[in-house]
Amino acid sequence: MSIQEQYGPIADLRLAREKLALGALARRYFAHDFEGRTHARNVARLAVRLGRAFSLPRHDLIAIAVGATLHDIGKLTVPAAVLETPRMLTSAEWAVVRTHPARGDVLVSPLIRHPIVRSAIRWHHERIDGRGYPDRLSGPEIPLPARIVAVADAYEALVAARPYSAPRSAAAALAELVECAGSQFDAECVRRLVAIDRSTSGGEADPSARSRRATRRAPTTGVRSTSRTSRAWSASSFGCGP
């Protein structure tokens, strides 16, 4: 009997159990953060499109999709009252929110070892200039998949509706990302996102529009609308400068 024949069923059973546990964890988070599911789905779709723009292999794209879907899983540890607040967060609340990437990495660590998935969860709020969190990585220290998810996350947060402001148009969101390219965001990721926008057929301005046509749109802006927001603080005031 080969090693695979002897231990394969055990490994398959362990993998199945890990997938079930991970699915249960994700469902807990999406129940905790009502809008997290929609945001996660949109970020994953856009991140995969960006990954394709870098000609990444299929297995890396799958890992990026998983990491992008779970990138905010650490918010399971953030009180729902903070996630659902209809105002800008206080300094104390913001300090709690900023713990979610590291806490998310801890939550999934018993279930996921894939470096791309883990990097998307832990490092999607790192900045190219080294002023991000939780580990203050900079430039090429931040893995490309995490840089891709960071751009997709920010774009999707910018075009989301907020209680105190209308969602930005696709053009305005892209302009803000371009302004922050090289300081907060990877400039090449932003450049390729803009290229996706320019190459989108049918005249659509939103680079993620074709992958989420079923999502309800705001009638005056053509971008999706959400009923309430846990994204209220996500992309507000990037602070691209020094």
Residues marked active site are found at: 75
- The CA distance from 118 to 106, in Å, is 10
Angle between helices 58-69 and 144-158 (to 10 degrees): 50
Residues 223, 159 contacting (CB under 8 angstroms): yes
Using only the alpha carbons of the chain, give its radius of gyration.
Answer: 18
Alpha carbon 20 to chain centroid, angstroms: 22
Nearest to 194 by CA among 85, 49, 92: 49
Give the C-alpha distances (Å, rounded to integers) separating 149 from 113, 156, 160, 187, 193: 18, 10, 16, 13, 12
- The CA distance from 67 to 85, in Å, is 26
Residue type, 240: C
Close Cβ partners of 28 (under 8 Å, ≥ 6 residues apart):
76
Residues 210, 204 contacting (CB under 8 angstroms): yes
- The CA distance from 89 to 78, in Å, is 13
Q: List the alpha helices (DSSP H) in the chain.
A: 3-32, 36-53, 58-69, 80-83, 91-97, 100-108, 115-123, 144-158, 170-180, 187-199
